[in-house]
Amino acid sequence: MSATPPELEAPLDDGPPEDYGLPDELILGVEDALAGGRVEEVERLLEPLHAADLADLLEALTKDERRLAVDILGAGLDAEALAYLDPTIREEVIEQLGPRNLARGLMQLDSDDAFEVFEDLEEEFQHRILAALPLAYRHLFEEGLSYPEDSAGRLMQREVVAVPAAWTVGETIDFMRASEDLPTDFYDLFVVNPKHKPLGSIPLSRVLRTRRPVRITEIMEPEMRPVPLTMDQEEVAYLFRQYGLVSAPVIDDAGRLVGTITVDDVVHVIDEEAEEDLMKLGGVSETDLYSAFWDTTRLRSSWLVVNLITAIVASVVIGFFEATIEQIVALAVLMPIVASMGGNAGTQTLTVAVRALAMKDLTAANARRFVGKEVLVGLVNGLLFAVLAGGVAWLWFQSWQIGAVIAAAMVINMFVAGLFGTLIPIGLEKTGVDPAVASTVFLTTVTDVVGFLAFLGLAAIFLL
C-alpha cells in the first residue's frame, strides 16, 4: 500500500508518457545550429541534456560536427558523458580536450566513473593525465591500474560510507550530514571494527526510519557478500544477479574495507559481457560501429580467414563424391538443404548452451541432462523435417529414393547438430577457452562436413 501523504494524492495526468532518448528533431536542430555557426543556440540545446543523452548526441554527429560541438562546450563538457561514449568516439573527444581539461573533468566524477574513463586511455596519454592530477588523485589511479583488468578493484568506487560499530543511529545521521567526502549516491552503510573490517551493512532507508538512540549494530545485517579486489567482474555480476544486491563491500587481502560496488556499475558490466558474447558469436571481436573503415575490415577479415578454411574442409568432402554428383544432378540442388538445416539447428542449441554457461545455469550437475534433452530435440526435429524435406524431394524429382536419402541425411545431421551444439561449448569451457569465441566455427564445420558426408555417402550407396 502506498505511503503517499494526502496532499500529494492528486489525480494523475492521463496524457501519453514522455518518450526517452534523443528525438530526431533535437539532433537535426543541433546539426543545423552547428552548420550555421550559432554557438549560443548549440549551448542552449546541449545544456539541459543528461550525460548519457549528450553522449548519444555526440555519437550521432559527424566527426567534423562533433569537433565543433566539443570546441563549443570546452571545459564545460560534462565529464560524466565520457563514461557513456563509445570507446572509439571517447578517444577522439579526449584527444581534443587535452590532458589538463580531462584531468579537471575526472576530478569531478566519482572514482569508479573516473577510472572507467582513465583505464581505456593509451599508456602515454595516461602518464600525461597523471602529471596533471593532484597527488591524491594520482595515487588513486595508479592503485587502480595495479589491479587485474576486469577485476572488482577496477570496478569499485573508493568513496564508501563506513561507520564504527559503537555509534548510534543519531551519530551516524549527524556524520552523514556533516561530512563532505561522502559518495554522490549510495544505498548502504557498512559497519566496521577498529581494523576497518566490515561487520555488517545497513540500508540507508533503515537508518532513516530508526530512532536516534538505537545502536547501529542492532539494525545492521551481519550477513554480507564481500567482494575480493581480484574477483573477475563477471563473477561480481553473477553475485549481484543471484542475490539481488544493490551494493556490495570490496575487501583487500587482509579483509579491510577498501571500496564498494553499486548496481549501476554492474549493469554496465552485464551489458558489456552480453555485447562481447554476442559479437564473438558473430565472429566480431568488438563493436565497430564507429571504427574506421580499414580498422573494421582488418578486425573482421581474421575471422573470415578461419571460416574460409572450414569452408574448404567442407568442399574437400564434396570433392570425394564428384562422380556421384555428376551422375545425379539433383544431389547438387539438395545438398545445401541438409547442411543449412543442421547448421541452424546447431546454432539454436549452441546459443542456449553459451548463454547458460555464462549465467552459470549449466553446470557439471545438470550437463548430462541438458545434452540428453538437446540431442532428443535434434532427433525429433530431424524426423519431422525429414518427412517434409523427403516429401518435397520426392515430388520435385519424381524419385522416392532421393526423398529417402535426404530424409535419412536430415535425421543424422540434426541429431549431430544437437549433440555437438552442446558438447562443443561445454568442452571449450572445460579447457579454459571462451565458448563464445570458437564454438560457432567448430559447429559450422561439423554440421557442414557431416551433412555433406551423410547425404552424398548415402546417395553413393543407394542411388548408384
CATH of the domain at 130: 1.25.60.10
Let me know whether 252 and 322 are in one domain: no
The reply to whether 185 and 130 lie within a common domain is no
Q: What is the pLDDT of residue 15?
A: 46
Nearest to 357 by CA among 307, 268, 421, 282: 421
pLDDT given at position 34: 92
Closest CA to 434 of 350, 354, 349: 354
Question: How many C-beta neighbours within 10 Å does residue 219 have?
Answer: 16
Name the stretches of the chain with pLDDT < 70.
1-20, 274-304, 306-307, 437
Residues β-bridged to residue 203: 188
- In a 13 Å sphere around the CA of 223, the CA atoms on its Cβ side amount to 2
CA distances from 223 to 167, 201, 219, 245 (A): 19, 8, 12, 12
**What percent of the chain clears pLDDT 70, i.e. is strictly above it?**
88
Residues 400-459: tens digit of each pLDDT? 999 999 999 999 999 999 999 999 989 988 888 778 767 887 888 888 888 888 888 898
Per residue in 324-346, pLDDT tens?
777 788 888 888 888 888 888 88
Residue among 119, 65, 127, 139 at smallest CA distance from 96: 65
**Cell 548510534 appears where?**
168
| Residues 180 and 133 grouped into a single domain | no
Question: In terms of residue numbers, what domain contains 390?
Answer: 293-462
Same domain for 169 and 140? no
In this prediction, residue 16 carries a pLDDT of 45
Domain's final residue, options 87, 118, 146: 146
The CATH number linked to 331 is 1.10.357.20
Domain boundary among the residues 146, 174, 206 is at 146
- The verdict on 169 and 252 lying in the same domain is yes
Q: What is the pLDDT of residue 236?
A: 92
Q: pLDDT (tens digit, 9 = 90+) per residue, 233-249?
A: 989 988 998 888 999 99
| Residues whose CB falls within 8 Å of the CB of residue 438, separated by 6 or more in sequence, listed in order | 428
Looking at 88, 111, 146, which one is the last position of a domain? 146
**Number of compact structural domains in the chain:** 3
